[in-house]
Chain A
């Protein structure tokens, strides 16, 4: 459990805290001239990179799980429950 909290804190320091700082840093200063097209499309590209990366990891993991633990895989071993026939 301590390790989990440790990992959580490291992640918080690395990602969550900078993200919050990024948001707060915008402040309430008057707006500057900006190109909406560039700003919005670059946000879209950044978020799409994350979306596709997560999508690839998740779908890859599902495919691997299905292949690895299918019944016909010679490497697949029955769980203790299946082995004993008791639940």
Chain B
């Protein structure tokens, strides 16, 4: 088991170390993930129902109120 885990570790370690074009891609991926999860998710994409209401009952009541009122 330990031998397997060691082999798996070195597979990733040696793989990442020997990357060429992969390094640039990883920079882009990390920029994208930062932008998505740190900037966008936190500042622009709160979960509307989870933020506004404390329980599923309140969320359900709110949605029923929304779907039973006439369209604007």
Q: Decide whether A and B assemble into one complex.
A: no
Report B's interface with A, CB cutoff 8 A: none
Report A's interface with B, CB cutoff 8 A: none
